[in-house]
């Protein structure tokens, strides 16, 4: 065993200790997980279409969000080249798996694989939950300030992801590659087509079309499951990379080792949640090497911990951490990288609240 004093703080040195077996990805296993997750998604959608008992619906919306997340993680691993050796198989299973979450395969891969993984928690580079400085916040208008306060609150995980990641990154932005535009058009066709189908068939009755019923089916079967999914993914990505004691760094101080090892948090979650979330909360190994399939992340983490245990961030309570981080991590000091609350950032100038109040009056 290497001594800690001999460890090199480089990403390459961490990758060297991961065994070949942690990369094993037999085709049958990836297909089996895909079929399993597609089955649970289909069952959940079937139940949502047919169930009207009000106290069952919230549970079904939660499971709809989870089943969409399960398929998305299949697509996520396929896009990383972790799930299958065949690029063609990865594309088609990945594309199908990402459609329920309304993500375009190559469009998403451009931002996630190249930018987020290439520059994890690097200031001015990583776009996922990127911090705002007090000076930037002071220059926001009233509506942008209000959105920042909402999206960085405990209620904002899904809202942030829906607007900042999905709408801006998946719909309004088009990656500079022909595959991205093709996949985005496919995703948008699926989005509008599925929404229209639910609205139309949901409102059909023996006595003609019922507009109110069609609207209800659109909300029940299409929109609310999509919102549920956004909250699951938004909160998941947040707890992966935002902690009060983990500052983001600028390009001069940032290293791949710091971003992938210190900038990723690992959680050991209940089995039921992990059944749907496919080890996504064991996050450091995935950032160390993107080609480790999700079902081998636990093994890879234990291998990393043998030599790099002091560098691995492991936590036990997602919800406790999420509440703590969303209460403390609002703005970031550009000089120190320290997370601050609004009151800590403006304790001398008292800028934030008066501007909101003045603009409101």
The per-residue pLDDT string of the chain (361 residues; one tens digit each, 9 = 90 and over) reads 344 446 788 999 999 999 999 999 999 999 999 999 999 999 999 999 999 999 999 999 999 999 999 999 999 999 999 999 999 999 999 999 999 999 999 999 999 999 999 999 999 999 999 999 999 999 999 999 999 999 999 999 999 999 999 999 999 999 998 899 999 999 999 999 999 999 999 999 999 999 999 999 999 999 999 999 999 999 999 999 999 988 999 999 999 999 999 999 999 999 999 999 999 999 999 999 999 999 999 999 999 999 999 999 999 899 999 999 999 999 999 888 889 999 999 985 544 444 433 333 2
Rounded to 5°, angle at Cα 111 from 172 and 238 = 95
Cα separations (Å) of 252 from 59, 133, 135, 222, 276?
47, 18, 21, 45, 39
Q: Model pTM? A: 0.92
């Amino acid at each position: 065993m290497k001594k800690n004093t001999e460890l090199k703080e480089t990403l390459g040195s961490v990758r060297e200790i991961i065994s070949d077996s942690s990369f094993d990805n037999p085709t049958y296993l990836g297909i089996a997980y895909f079929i399993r997750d597609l089955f649970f998604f289909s069952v959940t959608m079937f139940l949502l279409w047919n169930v009207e008992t009000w106290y069952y619906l919230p549970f079904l919306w939660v499971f709809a969000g989870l089943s969409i997340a399960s398929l998305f993680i299949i697509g996520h691993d396929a896009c990383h080249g972790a799930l299958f050796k065949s690029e063609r198989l990865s594309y088609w299973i990945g594309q199908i798996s990402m459609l329920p979450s309304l993500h375009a395969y190559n469009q998403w891969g451009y931002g996630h694989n190249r930018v987020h993984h290439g520059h994890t928690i690097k200031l001015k580079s990583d776009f996922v939950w990127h911090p705002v400085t007090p000076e930037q916040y002071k220059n926001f208008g009233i509506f942008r300030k209000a959105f920042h306060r909402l999206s960085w609150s405990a209620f904002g995980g899904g809202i942030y992801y829906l607007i900042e990641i999905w709408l801006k990154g998946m719909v309004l932005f088009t990656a500079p590659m022909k595959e991205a535009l093709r996949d985005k058009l496919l995703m948008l066709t699926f989005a509008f087509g599925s929404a229209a189908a639910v609205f139309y068939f949901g409102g059909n009755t023996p006595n003609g079309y019922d507009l109110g019923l069609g609207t209800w089916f659109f909300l029940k079967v299409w929109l609310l499951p999509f919102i549920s999914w956004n909250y699951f993914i938004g909160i998941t990505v947040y707890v992966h990379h935002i902690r009060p004691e983990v500052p983001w760094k600028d390009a001069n101080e940032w290293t791949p080792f710091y971003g992938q090892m210190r900038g990723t948090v690992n959680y050991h979650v209940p089995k039921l949640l992990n059944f749907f979330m496919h080890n996504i909360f064991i996050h450091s190994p995935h950032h160390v090497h993107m080609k480790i399939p999700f079902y081998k992340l636990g093994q890879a983490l234990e291998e990393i911990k043998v030599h790099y245990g002091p560098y691995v961030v492991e936590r036990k309570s997602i919800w406790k951490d999420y509440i703590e981080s969303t209460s403390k991590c609002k703005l970031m000091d550009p000089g120190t990288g320290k997370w601050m609350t609004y009151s800590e950032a403006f304790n001398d100038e008292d800028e934030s609240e008066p501007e909101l109040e003045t603009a409101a009056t």
